[in-house]
């Protein structure tokens, strides 16, 4: 009986002590300006450490989410930049092409003024087949425009070929580089005189015309100008063919063989001029 009573008293005393300590802790926490003792500092540090440890996973997750958002934003911006870059490249290429087109059209107009009395008709290349790239091309002018077979085709650089077929609104042009082209009467200007010969073929691997039939014992300088003579009924006189590149002699050492660099660029023919007939071309 005595022991039960003592146990009850001990419980009351323990509760009073716990309550006192609780009030003491509250009072200490209310004294903000008071310096903490060793035990309090240890408790405080432990509390901060535990809080940091508890918050670390949350902070890590938040950081990863932030990184993912940043990467997603960067990827979206990168895609936009790539699209803009492609647009810039496309526009630049288009501008360059338009500038070249304007330049070539200006050259064709200047050519018309240069030809003077010759009646010319401007045309555009419709298509050019790869398998016959050096043989022929098609243009957008035909019979309805006054085009007939045999008319010379030129551009701002020089002679290109001749009309070989005509439709109502289109024509086929046989190029000077064609392996079926007939010989053309040409002349080379050397100082104050002309040397005459025949344009007999084209070497694709060297991009040169072959000029044969020259018997005159006259030195022909490089870069000498080669033009049509006007002999025959196809080409008028004075159409530029090219310039002399090399001069050699045949196997019998009798006649000269001249390689001529074409004046026209046969790799790029977009706009041409058709020289209409004006009667006999012989001059």
pLDDT for the residue 282 = 43
- Asked if 274 and 121 touch (Cβ cutoff 8 Å), the reply is yes
To which CATH superfamily is domain 120-283 assigned?
Rod shape-determining protein MreC, domain 2 (2.40.10.350)
User: What percent of the chain stands above pLDDT 90?
Assistant: 33
User: What percent of the chain stands above pLDDT 70?
Assistant: 60
pTM of the model: 0.58
Task: Assign 176 a pLDDT band (cuts: 50, 70, 90).
Answer: very high
- Reply yes or no on whether the pLDDT at 33 is more than 80: no
- Asked if 198 and 189 touch (Cβ cutoff 8 Å), the reply is no
DSSP assignment, residue 100?
H
- Reply yes or no on whether the pLDDT at 102 is more than 70: no
- Helix (H) or strand (E) holding 164, with range, is strand 159-166
Tens of pLDDT, residues 223-279: 999 999 988 768 888 889 999 999 988 777 777 889 999 999 999 898 899 988 654
pLDDT for the residue 231 = 84
Q: Comparing 243 with 281, which gets the higher pLDDT?
A: 243
Task: Assign 162 a pLDDT band (cuts: 50, 70, 90).
Answer: very high
- Reply yes or no on whether the pLDDT at 166 is more than 70: yes
- Reply yes or no on whether the pLDDT at 190 is more than 70: yes
* Domain range summary for the chain, segments of one domain joined by +: 40-116, 120-283
Query: In angstroms, what is the C-alpha Rg of the chain?
Result: 47
């Amino acid at each position: 009986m005595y022991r039960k009573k003592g146990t009850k008293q001990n419980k009351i005393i323990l509760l009073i002590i716990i309550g006192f300590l609780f009030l003491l802790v509250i009072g200490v926490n209310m004294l903000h300006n008071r310096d903490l003792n060793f035990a309090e500092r240890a408790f405080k540090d432990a509390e901060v450490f535990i809080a940091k440890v508890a918050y670390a996973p949350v902070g890590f997750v938040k950081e990863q989410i932030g990184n993912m958002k940043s990467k997603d934003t960067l990827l979206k911006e990168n895609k936009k930049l790539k699209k803009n870059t492609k647009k810039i490249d496309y526009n630049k290429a288009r501008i360059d092409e338009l500038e070249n087109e304007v330049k070539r059209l200006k050259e064709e107009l200047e050519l018309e003024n240069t030809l003077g009395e010759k009646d010319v008709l401007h045309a555009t290349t419709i298509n050019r087949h790869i398998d016959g790239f050096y043989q022929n091309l098609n243009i957008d002018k035909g019979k309805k425009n006054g085009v007939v077979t045999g008319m010379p085709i030129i551009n701002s650089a020089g002679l290109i070929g001749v009309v070989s077929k005509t439709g109502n609104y289109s024509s086929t042009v046989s190029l000077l580089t064609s392996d079926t082209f007939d010989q053309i009467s040409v002349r080379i200007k050397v100082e104050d005189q002309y040397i005459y010969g025949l344009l007999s073929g084209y070497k694709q691997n060297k991009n040169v015309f072959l000029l044969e039939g020259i018997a005159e014992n006259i030195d022909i300088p490089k870069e000498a100008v080669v033009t049509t003579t006007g002999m025959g009924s196809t080409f008028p006189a004075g159409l530029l063919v090219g310039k002399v590149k090399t001069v050699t002699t045949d196997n019998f050492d009798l006649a000269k063989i001249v390689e001529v660099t074409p004046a026209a660029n046969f790799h790029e023919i977009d706009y041409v001029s058709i020289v209409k007939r004006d009667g006999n071309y012989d001059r």
